[in-house]
Structure 1
Amino acid sequence: MSDQDKKMDIPPQHQDHQPGSQQQMTPKPLAEMRNYKGSGKLKGKIALVTGGDSGIGRATAIGFAKEGASVVVAYLDEHEDAKETQRLIEAEGRECVLIAGDIGSEDYCRKMVETAISSFGRLDIVVNNAAQQYPQESITDITEEQLLKTFRTNIFSMFFTVKAALPHLKEGARIINTTSVTAYRGSPQLLDYSSTKGAIVAFTRSLSKQLISKKILVNAVAPGPVWTPLIPSSFSPENVDKFGEQSPLGRAGQPDEIAPSYIFLASEDASFMSGQVLHPNGGDVVNS
């Protein structure tokens, strides 16, 4: 599919519930990985993907399945989106287990890992992807409640999940974290969100050094503007209408353009990489 084919007309729209529903979006994000051809790179692997019900998480989970992995998909409460992801994974001949709950709860993060172990007996790949964002024009508008929720969802959850997963991860396991281009260039309307994404970069680099002796590789992906449910559930209809136009390519990315970065980092192709960040962001040159 050409770059022009990926460019979609996005009409004004808004959703009142975060992190949003893919079913309610117009047009639907390209997250089904229809043009991706697997080659067995993850055959027999077990992956846990948070926020795997839609957007980048859905595309990544389906891509993993195309490469031979079974997947535990963690999500908040978008049950119909999650069931569709499960259907698409099972259509690839792989197993998919769903678990709903709040990623900001350490107890839920433990349950995610327990579900993976009880369902499959092992865990090889952890993708910390779930996130939320609440735009505000001024730091004075960011309440204590919002600040704590953003940090609990976006970065505390990664500590909780890795803590729970680590006893089960063997040599060669992969941890892949979703940061953002906003960690590098900043965002005046997403001050708390971009702060968590900067923390994720530091978390990735520091954790990679801590786990390198165990031969567990830790990397991250920093997407640019991508058409996912988080966008209409975050911004006004007028801002959604213009979403992605600021990227050098002049459009929003699609989830199926981001997922291959996760597949690469999960595979043996990335066996000599740890502590690194990939930047599928539409051409925005940033310091990595």
Structure 2
Amino acid sequence: MRFASSHLKPPFCPALEGLGLADWDKNVIDQGGKVKSLDGKIALVTGASGGIGRQIAVRLAESGVTIIAHFRSREECAEETASAVRAVGSEIMLVKSDLSQSEGVRDLFAEVDKAFAAPLDILVNNAGAGSLATIAAIDDIEIERLFRVNLKATVLLTQQALTRFNDGGAIVNITSMSGLMAQPAGFAYGMCKAALNSFTVSLAAELSSRKIRVNAVAPGPTDTDLLNDYRANESAMDLLTGMAALGRLGTPDDIARIVRFLASPESGWLTGQILQASGGMRL
């Protein structure tokens, strides 16, 4: 576990002014770049040592959210996440835990309970595991690993988080376009993400009495370390890039900005939704 804080302020980004949304900007985002309605909230982000998870932590931190950042093994990378969060003026606690094991969920919350008396306001279930195995190649060990990390861990972690959660909070599950379309190579990963989409919708209905909103973000191909195996293959990269109508790969920040919106009261009329953050796949 690591806990650190800073009081630096991020630079103001005037991008919304250029879109003609100055009034909305003034009401929602202050001169320090914070989404005002998130200031002082506490968020748990799983899989936050890099990529999408790290950027989600940073974007939430920019808006004054205290971050509990989970990571499994990449401690140096997790420390880089902590540095990025401190650089925008927020507090962060790092928690190392293997969520593929049931005891890992218990260990995570044992550490959280030691450090925080206040309940959680935001949960981002981002941790996951991938696979490109076909039906002919996959075995029971791989199937079990994928379901354990991508689905079982998310359900058990959410179950525990809800006993420490403020009514009116927000849960965001990071799923995948793979759960919404055919993907013969990697079908088991897509199955897990499809199940997570179903979990999102069912949980949204169950938690409506507590005014806890539950949504999912389904990224398409995104420029993270997960694509490293493809970078030397120009045709493969062209194929991935061409999947989006907007003609590029997604970035972690594309996803993080959507998650921040879903975590905030500005999306207060959205629950049980699967947002396709893919740049227009399948158009």
TM-score range, shorter chain: 0.7 to 0.9
* 4+ aligned runs moved over 4 Å, structure 1: 32-36
SS of match in other structure, 2:167: coil
Using the alignment, how far apart are the partners of 2:11 and 2:187 within structure 1? 32
Residues 34, 58 of structure 1: alpha-carbon distance in 2 compared, 3 angstrom cutoff: farther
2:154 aligns with: 158
Task: Give the letter aligned to residue 145 of structure 2.
Answer: K
1:135-172 residue CA offsets vs partner (Å, 9 max, x unmatched)? 12x30210111000011111111111011111111211
Residue 205 of structure 2, aligned match among 205, 209, 216: 209
Are the counterparts in 1 of residues 43 and 124 from structure 2 also a CA contact under 8 Å? yes
SS of match in other structure, 1:133: coil
Task: Give the letter aligned to residue 279 of structure 1.
Answer: Q
Residues 54, 112 of structure 1: alpha-carbon distance in 2 compared, 3 angstrom cutoff: same
Are the counterparts in 2 of residues 173 and 216 from structure 1 also a CA contact under 8 Å? yes
SS of match in other structure, 2:227: coil
2:277 is the counterpart of 1:280: yes
What's the TM-score once normalised by structure 1's chain length?
A: 0.82
* Structure-to-structure mapping, 1:21-60, within 5 angstroms: 37-60=33-56
Using the alignment, how far apart are the partners of 2:74 and 2:150 within structure 1? 18
1:260 aligns with: 257
Using the alignment, how far apart are the partners of 2:11 and 2:69 within structure 1? 16
Are the counterparts in 2 of residues 48 and 116 from structure 1 also a CA contact under 8 Å? no
SS of match in other structure, 2:168: coil
Are the counterparts in 2 of residues 225 and 244 from structure 1 also a CA contact under 8 Å? yes
Residues 236, 63 of structure 1: alpha-carbon distance in 2 compared, 3 angstrom cutoff: closer
Are the counterparts in 1 of residues 97 and 107 from structure 2 also a CA contact under 8 Å? no
2:67 aligns with: 71
Q: CA RMSD in A?
A: 2.1
Using the alignment, how far apart are the partners of 1:272 and 1:114 within structure 2? 33
Task: Give the letter aligned to residue 59 of structure 2.
Answer: G
Residue 101 of structure 1, aligned match among 94, 97, 102: 97
Query: How many percent of aligned residue pairs carry the same amino acid?
Result: 34
Using the alignment, how far apart are the partners of 2:11 and 2:168 within structure 1? 26
Are the counterparts in 2 of residues 73 and 98 from structure 1 also a CA contact under 8 Å? yes
2:194 is the counterpart of 1:198: yes
Larger RCO, structures 1/2 (Cα 8 Å, 6+ apart)? 1
SS of match in other structure, 1:244: helix
Are the counterparts in 1 of residues 44 and 69 from structure 2 also a CA contact under 8 Å? yes
Task: Give the letter aligned to residue 132 of structure 2.
Answer: P
* Offset, 1:211: 1.1
> Quick check: 106-115 or 70-79, which moved more?
106-115
What's the TM-score once normalised by structure 2's chain length?
A: 0.83
Using the alignment, how far apart are the partners of 2:225 and 2:110 within structure 1? 28
Are the counterparts in 2 of residues 180 and 224 from structure 1 also a CA contact under 8 Å? yes
Larger Rg: 2
* Offset, 1:89: 0.4
Task: Give the letter aligned to residue 170 of structure 2.
Answer: R
* Offset, 1:282: 1.1
SS of match in other structure, 2:155: helix
* Structure-to-structure mapping, 1:212-223, within 5 angstroms: 212-223=208-219
- In terms of fraction of residues, the more helix-rich structure is 2
Unaligned 5+ segments in structure 1 are 1-31
Using the alignment, how far apart are the partners of 1:208 and 1:252 within structure 2? 30
* Offset, 1:47: 0.5
* Structure-to-structure mapping, 1:165-180, within 5 angstroms: 165-180=161-176
> Quick check: 164-173 or 33-42, which moved more?
33-42
Are the counterparts in 2 of residues 41 and 68 from structure 1 also a CA contact under 8 Å? no
- In terms of fraction of residues, the more strand-rich structure is 2
SS of match in other structure, 2:79: helix
SS of match in other structure, 1:125: strand
Unaligned 5+ segments in structure 2 are 1-9, 16-32
| Corresponding residue pairs, total | 253
Task: Give the letter aligned to residue 269 of structure 2.
Answer: F
* Offset, 1:62: 0.2
